[in-house]
């Protein structure tokens, strides 16, 4: 039995694996990209709730691009929201120097709200 055959119509070559001929497909090499916490959350969400989109992106070799783009956008949105909310609520370095516990409580509250907004707008949409 031949270990490899080539289909003359399509030009696809096949290899023998456990009595089955499987096509020799190779995915193109993807550029290594850093995916942070926001991108990982997006991946988990897509894999669990939008499987078709997840596998379409995966098989088209666009998943890492999508995740790194979402991660970058989410990080920018989160930082911008925290900064704007802190300015609006007058949570400054002066408050930090005066009362660290109050500053910590207010900043944690701001960060939690910014995280919820970012999750709803970019990650879970």
Check residue 90 and give left, alpha or beta (phi > 0: left; psi -120 to 50: alpha): left
pLDDT confidence of residue 83: 98
- For 94-114, how does the pLDDT look when each residue is reduced to its tens digit (9 = 90+)? 999 999 999 999 999 999 999
- Sorted by where each begins, the domain ranges of the chain are 1-30, 31-123
Render each residue's pLDDT in the chain as its tens digit; 125 residues: 677 877 778 888 888 888 888 888 776 676 778 899 999 999 999 999 999 999 999 988 899 999 999 999 999 999 999 999 999 999 999 999 999 999 999 999 999 999 999 999 999 98
Name, in order, each residue with C-beta under 8 angstroms of 54's C-beta and a sequence gap of 6 or more: 43, 46, 47, 63
């Amino acid at each position: 039995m031949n270990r490899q055959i080539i289909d003359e119509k399509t030009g696809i070559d096949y290899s023998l694996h456990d009595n089955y001929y499987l096509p020799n497909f190779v995915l193109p090499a993807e550029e290594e990209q850093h995916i942070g916490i926001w991108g990982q959350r997006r991946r988990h969400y897509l894999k669990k709730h939008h499987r078709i989109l997840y596998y379409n992106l995966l098989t088209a070799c666009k998943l890492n691009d999508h995740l790194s783009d979402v991660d970058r956008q989410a990080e920018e949105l989160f930082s911008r929201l925290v900064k704007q909310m802190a300015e609006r609520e007058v949570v400054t370095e002066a408050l930090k120097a005066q009362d660290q516990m109050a500053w910590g409580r207010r900043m944690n509250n701001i960060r939690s709200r910014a995280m919820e907004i970012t999750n709803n707008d970019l990650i879970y949409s």
